[in-house]
Amino acid sequence: MLKRTPILALLLVSLAAASFARTPRPIADMTIPAPGGKQIDLKQYRGKVVLLALITTTCTECIQSVEIFNHLQKDFGPQGFQMVAAAVNLSAKEDVGPFAQRYKASFPMGYLDKLGTMKIADIGGEQRPYVPIVMFIDRGGVVRFQYFGNDSVMKEEEKSLRAIVGGLVKQGKQ
């Protein structure tokens, strides 16, 4: 009989190999502009597990992801989790407010320009990643995992994101 490897451990090992971004790494020290002149400062979430998603407001997959992000916030929020998203398309500054309202985002949403996107996601100028880009930030502000929309983790997005968030939330309780 074959010995079974824990699913979460196997998932995390296989997914880590898929990412182009350097992990682990400290999250970039920057704020994310939000509608109404507000700022999202990721430092305010130290002590929580954060899933930061970079999306576009016109991407069908990103729109579908917002529903998953809402579920994650509802289910894991009480356990020390915070969902945050930033729109990164050219018209993101104008689009993000109406987008968040239309799709009933239950988490903070802001926007980033190209340079901000490259900085926070640790993306080189030669890379052309697919959105959504998801970054899993541990309670100490370290990006543990990062995946692009075309990575294998996104094929079963909700199941994979739940497994990773659940694992990170449990780590902090030990």
Q: Please give the pLDDT value at position 125.
A: 76
Query: pTM of the predicted model, to two decimals?
Result: 0.87
Rg (CA), the chain: 15
Which pLDDT belongs to residue 46? 95
Domain ranges of the chain: 7-173
The pLDDT of residue 113 is 96
Q: What share of the chain is helix, strand, coil (3-state, %, to 5)?
A: 45, 20, 35
Report whether CATH 3.10.20.80 matches the domain 7-173: no
Instruction: Give residue 126's pLDDT.
Output: 76
pLDDT at 20: 56
How confident is the model at residue 3, as a pLDDT?
38
Report the chain (174 residues): mean pLDDT per 10 consecutive residues. Answer: 38 42 92 97 96 97 97 98 97 98 98 96 85 97 96 95 97 71
